[in-house]
Amino acid sequence: MNAALIPLEATIPLRLRVLRPGGTEADCHFPSDHVPGAFHVGTFVEEQCVAVQCVAVGSFSPEAHAELPAKRPYRLRGMASAPEVRGRGAGRVLLDQAVVVLADRGCDLLWCNAREVAIPFYERMGFIGRGPLFDIP
């Protein structure tokens, strides 16, 4: 598996499949996708006799958090991994690549809102939970 910067359009199929099942493509666009400095990362896998396939996506944009002071904060949004590759390192590979890009941009804080089911993954990646749990429809 390897990860690379990808265009926004390449994030939509996995966002739709994993984050917005039954939704529309319009449901998969976030305002933060288009802010200056935003970027998107995809993880790719090449299986035997199968073309290279994007199996995880994540989007990163400069955005402050009211309770977390930082000079150059970024927010992770729209992270999705194909169910068939979960637990195989696709998310870790994606975040490792993003950290390289974020370091080059002087990022001093990476934050996100996470679905409850994803909290253990983010904790393994070194994120620290803050605040009460909440649901995003």
Distances in Å between the Cα of 59 and the Cα atoms of 2, 32, 46, 91 are 16, 9, 22, 12
Q: What is the mean pLDDT of residues 75-101?
A: 95
Q: Is the distance from CB of 95 to CB of 126 less than 8 angstroms? A: no
C-alpha–C-alpha distance, residues 112 and 101, integer Å: 17
What's the whole-model pTM score? Answer: 0.91
C-alpha–C-alpha distance, residues 28 and 87, integer Å: 24
Q: What is the pLDDT of residue 131?
A: 81
C-alpha–C-alpha distance, residues 35 and 119, integer Å: 26
Q: For 41-53, how does the pLDDT look when each residue is reduced to its tens digit (9 = 90+)?
A: 999 997 766 667 8
Residue type, 130: R
pLDDT averaged over the chain?
Answer: 92
| Cross-strand pairs, 58 | 41
Q: Is the distance from CB of 118 to CB of 94 less than 8 angstroms? A: no
